[in-house]
Structure 1
Amino acid sequence: MKIAAAQALAALAREPVPDSVLQAYDLDQLSFGPDYLIPKPFDPRVLWTVAPAVAEAAVAEGLARHPIADFETYREELHTRFSASHALLHSITTQARAQPKRVAYPHADDARIIRAARRVTDEGIASPILLGDTSQIESVADATGISLVGMEVVDPSVDGSERERYARILEELRRDRGMTIEEAYLQVTDPNMYACLMVREGAADAVLGGLTTFYPETIRPALQVLKVAEGRSIVSSVYVVVVKGQPYFFTDCAVNIQPTAAQLTEIALAATDAAEKMFHRESRVAFISYSDFGSAKGEEPARVREAVEMFRKARPDVPVDGEMQADTAVVEELLARRRPGGPLKRAASVLVFPNLTAANASYKLLNRLGDAEVIGPILSGLSATVHVLQRDASVSDVVNMTAIAVAEAQRRHKSRT
């Protein structure tokens, strides 16, 4: 068993070091060598690497009192103990591995993107396409000790024939907005625009960007060259906020500033769809306001109440109520007292906020002050798979969002065939 533990530690030391460990030791990079022979004490991977190796050896040697039959399940249980979001993402990651898709990463000269691309390649989650200055991407990869084998690197500024073809497509798409071919040639050198055109033309299956650019710079090209999905009038977002092991779906935290009643309904329907189809969770929808069921007057509560009625008509099978205050929505005792006999019999799982300020502030405060784990933003409403990363996203965040993007791309492909 000691040998099994030593072998597991030796193998782990040769794997790329996660961001959380680098941050804990204030390091930019760390790789196997004279200064790093075994994993650091704060490396969480030791838990689900060494323990199963020792347990497996104990079973093989006949020393285990309670032999483990399924070591893969055991590893997943250990992962879940460390991260509540892991269990939520496990089925999505497994689905992604079944049929990996091509994911384009704009501005890929960031070490986090390169590390994540290495992981999703090695784990069979996706086939990465790194977009940006080739020499810069290779330089960052060399500095971090990451191999680019198995990844495609594309420089939009020198990709001659495709750049010309994409420029002509863009000029045609934006001609009614006054775009000239010269402007189109310039715009397609932007990795965000190039990635969206790749997805449009079938050269990639998904786009995952935004790590080094501001949100509008990332989403604008997608809105310009990709159509809104059939049956949708807007793009919206949802964050999965995991609090004490319980997932909540917050919407819209990233796109719509002051949605109308009709838009709130569409946003809520999209979040419900994500909860049910992507994460296989039961939806119980609460529309949030500063008013509890008519306790206060104003434009906002009236708009929210109108959205609730529209949602009810669209999804009569889903329990929904509002307008209500945030604590009413998530504390069952308050809900029962303030709304006896109401449609929601349990705390809400989908929280629909009346505007962007409320939604954005809520998930960030829970993340920073409440130690909640956050997954997202998950965008919906576009005709292709495009997601925007948070600028402070970790390598694990990028890997998780890649798995979500691949699973979504799979569903889109299946619906077209």
Structure 2
Amino acid sequence: MPQLEFLQQIREKASIRKKTIVLPESHDERVLKAAEILTKEKIASIITLGNEHKIRTDAQRIGVDLQNIRIIDPEKSDRLSDFANFFYNKRKHKGVTIDQARETVKRDLFFGAMMVSEGMADGSVSGSIATTADVTRAALFCVGLKEGISILSSFFIMVLPEKTYTFADCAVNPNPNAEQLADIAISTADNHKKLIGEEPYIAMLSFSTKGSAEHEMVDKVRQATQLVKSKRPDLNVDGELQFDAAVVASVAKKKAPESVVAGKANVLIFPDLNSGNIGYKIAQRLGKAEAIGPINQGLKKPFFDLSRGCNVDDIVNTAAIACLMAE
């Protein structure tokens, strides 16, 4: 399936869910243009943050229609004090004062994160201007990790003509331990089902298949596999598996004939960032797969980070994905 067709399906599915997405960086023209598309195509209800006069002036200058788009000025919001108190109580053990908390939640990223945390929005998309570090801080400080998940991670959707795969973690965690690797697998499997709409078959990848090699790096993958099975017995997972045993049926018959996953894996969990980052780029550049991502996961609610080089369509598509990942 071509990437454009896949993303169009994502937009259509998102429009059915009728979710609300906050776009904090309204001082970016790309964000205003994306807000207009998301609203006119009825993909999501949109909230933008900032000085209303400036936003309306900017929109008029670039020809963007703000009809049905809600604008909230954090500095004038009646929720500012509540958000400041919430943030203060969360961070006072780190020495944050109430005045510092108030100044922090006035910032668009953090105000947007508080809106998501408090249920005023189903998700947030930012990072067209802010750094990944700032987006991540707002996400972890305000939204927090999903219950039972120990780590913020990321995944890529890899679209090939014959099949769509989900790869993780290829962008965030350099060397997750066994528990973290298990949680990455669980998060990725759940999101594969939400976005692709098919049952996940999780391969915990290694340079060994079912004891063909012994090494501490293989031990980590075996331990992670067992943790996934114990935490989520409903999931189809197996490991350790080499890449060919995971995705090629004829190889799976020889290397792992008893496996329910080998030969038909669609969720591929790499043991570390070296292998994950290299793996997705090989699939993209030599295998001609269309790579969508990285997409953050593991949080209580979607709080996504864009590349600062993103275009308007990237923002629209990321918001649509947030709609599908929202509870």
TM class by shorter-chain length? 0.7 to 0.9
Query: What pairs with 1:222-371 in structure 2 (closer than 5 Å)?
Result: 222-316=139-233, 318-368=235-285, 370-371=287-288
Q: Which residue of 2 aligns with 1:9?
A: none
- C-alpha distance in structure 2 between counterparts of 1:288 and 1:316, whole Å: 19
8 Å contact kept, 1:250–1:363: yes
Structure 2 counterpart of 1:111 = 29
Aligned residues of 1:88 and 1:279 also touching (Cα < 8 A): no
Q: CA deviation at 1:273?
A: 1.6
Amino acid at match of 2:254: R
- What is the 5 A alignment of 1:145-224? 145-156=63-74, 158-159=75-76, 161-224=78-141
2:106 aligns to what SS in structure 1? Answer: coil
SS in 2 for 1:240: strand
SS in 2 for 1:397: helix
Residue 386 of structure 1, aligned match among 294, 303, 319: 303
Residue 5 of structure 2 corresponds to: 86
Residues 391 and 372 of structure 1: CA distance in aligned 2, closer, same or farther (over 3 Å): farther
232-241 vs 339-348, which deviates more?
A: 339-348
Q: Distance in 2 between matches of 1:272 and 1:235?
A: 15
3-state SS, counterpart of residue 198 of structure 1: helix
Query: What letter matches 2:268 in structure 1?
Result: L
How much does 1:119 deviate?
A: 0.9
The alpha-carbon distance between structure 1 residues 118 and 203, as it changes in their structure 2 partners (threshold 3 A), is same
What amino acid does structure 2 have at the position aligned with 1:303?
A: K
Distance, in Å, in 2 between the alignment partners of 1:115 and 1:311 is: 42
Indicate the structure (1 or 2) with the bigger Cα radius of gyration: 1
Q: Match for 1:403 among 320, 323, 326?
A: 320
Aligned partner of 1:182: which letter?
D
Q: How many residues align?
A: 327
Deviations 1:183-241 (A, max 9, x none): 11221232111101112233322111122222221021121122432333333332211
Question: How many Å apart are 1:341 and its aligned residue?
Answer: 4.2
Q: 1:98 and 2:16 equivalent? A: yes
Partner of 1:373: 290
Of residues 383-392 and 314-323 in structure 1, the stretch that sits farther from structure 2 once superposed is 314-323
**Secondary structure of the residue that 1:174 maps to in structure 2?**
helix
Contact 1:85 1:245 (8 Å CA) reproduced: no
Whole-angstrom distance in 2 between the partners of 1:274 and 1:359: 17
Q: Secondary structure at the match of 1:188?
A: helix
Give the Å deviation of 1:257: 2.9
Question: Structure 1 CA distance, aligned partners of 2:156 and 2:95?
Answer: 36
Distance between the aligned counterparts of 1:190 and 1:357, measured in 2? 34
1:354 positional shift: 0.9
Tell me, yes or no, if the aligned pair for 1:377 and 1:390 is still in contact at 8 Å. Answer: no
Q: What percentage of residue pairs aligned between the two structures are identical?
A: 35
- What is the SS of the residue equivalent to 2:145? coil
Structure ranking higher on relative contact order (CA contacts 8 Å, 6+ apart): 2
After TM superposition, the runs of 4+ consecutive aligned structure 1 residues lying more than 6 A away are none
Which range moved further: 248-257 or 263-272? 248-257
SS of the residue aligned with 1:202? coil
Amino acid at match of 2:142: V
RMSD: 2.7
Structure 2 stretches lacking a partner, 5+ long: none
1:271-312 Cα distance to aligned partner (Å, 9 max, x none)? 112222442212221111233433433321110011122323
The unaligned stretches of length 5 or more in structure 1 are 1-79, 413-417
Structure 1 distance, partners of 2:91, 2:237, is: 41
TM-score by length of structure 2 reads: 0.87
SS in 1 for 2:64: coil
CA distance in 1, matches of 2:71, 2:176: 39
TM superposition score normalised by structure 1: 0.70
How far apart, CA to CA, are the structure 1 residues paired with 2:106 and 2:171?
A: 26
CA distance in structure 2 between the aligned counterparts of 1:299 and 1:132, rounded to whole angstroms:
51
Partners in 1 of 2:291 and 2:116 — Cα distance? 27
